[in-house]
A = this chain, B = another copy of it.
Amino acid sequence: MPTPTPDAPAARPAGPVTLQQVAERAGVSSATASRALHGSNGTRIVGEELRRRVLDAARELRYVSNAPAQALARSTTTVVGVVVHDVADPYFAAIAAGAMGVAREHGLLVMLAATFRDPELELDYLARLRAQRARAVVLAGSGFADRDFTRRLATEVDAYRADGGHVVAVGAHGIDSDTVRPANRAGAALAVRHLYELGHRRFGIVSGPRALTSVRDRLDGARRQLRSLGVMLPPAHVVDGGFTREEARAATRALMARAPEPTAIVVLNDVMAAGVLGALRDDLGLRVPDQVSVVGFDDLPFAADLNPPLTTIRLPLADIGARAMDMILTGPTIEARTIDLDAELVIRASTATSRR
């Protein structure tokens, strides 16, 4: 039940409280009230006693500054957009949480938008965040490997910039912007090398949607490493797990029916790795790592709790989000910057020496 404060309800007029009403209550001019509440380019030019009086009046009236009006005036707001593919995917949740942590420290409000891996929705969101005068956008979803789309995205990003906004990309989006780049290629190579050093020579890969640049980079990194080690990877040994647990489960059953049967599986994210382990254990009755070794990708929080605990490639996800937000805080520079973040092999219990 709402329990109003003792003094406010009677004193508070109906409808949004205006700056003028705050000024009247504090007994100052609107200009003074505005300076006391909003400062002027960050500097306070109102005496402390006056400022206190205005703040008290604003609090009593529950005044909130009119952000759309201010946005019109300043063409910038304290809102930052973060565009991801899917908030229910813990990979994006971890990146978003990293970005939000930094945003919180600096008083920025994050508008998190999910595209459900629909490129059109990504363009739509970018246009709408521009309309909202969001001061910056982090494109945290993976890029789409499509030339026509990339051209339209670049045009939209240019328009955003022309309006004074700032776009920071996570991963390869094919646009000329500040970028935080996770080590997708190097990470996949690490996974392959680890399995090779354990004696594995028959590999399978459970891939994600090829339309995503992150998937292409991971796949490319794994393939190049295999080639440089002289290991054959028949095309049929790369199956698509759709970046979901259930599709990966079905894809694993198909993969293990191929000849020669793989003894090592590189899975291009941990969400799918949960499905791969389930398929091997429950559908195929194979023991991991005794009969098949599995390496995941990302090191999501649940990776250590899988059965067996998953050997995986750790990306610094919270750091990816945080560094992207850092770039927004420092503002755009003349030359676009790139921050490269390393991947790391985390060895747990899903990989062992090859017996075959």
Contact = CB atoms under 8 A, between A and B. Distances in A.
Interface of A: 1-5, 8-9, 12, 14-16, 62, 64-69, 71-72, 75, 77-79, 86-88, 90, 93-94, 96-97, 100-101, 104, 109-114, 116, 121, 125, 127-133, 150-152, 154-159, 162-163, 174-176, 245, 274, 277-278, 301-302, 304-308, 318
Contact of A278 (B1, B9, B130, B305): B305
The 10 A-B residue pairs with the shortest CB-CB distance, nearest first, are: A68-B68, A307-B307, A2-B154, A88-B97, A112-B112, A67-B131, A111-B111, A302-B302, A64-B131, A68-B71
A87 B100 contact: yes
Contacts of A2: 154-155, 157-158, 175-176
A322 to B, nearest CB: 12
A1 B154 contact: yes
A150 B159 CA distance: 44
Contact of A162 (B15, B151, B305): B15
A137 to B, nearest CB: 12
20 contacts: A1-B176, A3-B150, A3-B154, A3-B155, A4-B154, A4-B155, A12-B159, A16-B163, A64-B127, A66-B72, A77-B132, A79-B132, A87-B96, A88-B93, A101-B116, A109-B111, A109-B125, A111-B112, A112-B112, A277-B305
Contact of A302 (B109, B121, B130, B305): B305
Contacts of A68: 67-69, 71-72, 77, 132-133
A4 B158 contact: yes
Contacts of A127: 64
A101 to B, nearest CB: 8
A55 to B, nearest CB: 14
A132 B67 contact: yes
Nearest to A5: B155
Nearest to A273: B305
Contact of A69 (B72, B104, B109, B274): B72
Contacts of A104: 114, 116, 121
Given A79-B132, A93-B93, 19 more contacts: A3-B151, A15-B162, A66-B131, A67-B68, A68-B69, A68-B133, A69-B72, A86-B97, A87-B87, A87-B97, A87-B112, A88-B90, A88-B96, A88-B97, A110-B111, A111-B112, A112-B112, A132-B132, A306-B306
Contacts of A110: 111-114
Highest count of chain B CB atoms <10 Å: which of A111, A154, A176, A245: A111
Contacts of A152: 5
Contacts of A79: 111, 132
A325 to B, nearest CB: 13
A64 to B, nearest CB: 4
A8 to B, nearest CB: 7
A275 to B, nearest CB: 8
A150 B156 CA distance: 43
A130 B64 CA distance: 7
Contact of A15 (B78, B163, B318): B163
Nearest to A4: B155
Highest count of chain B CB atoms <10 Å: which of A3, A71, A150, A176: A3
Contacts of A100: 87, 113-114
A308 to B, nearest CB: 8
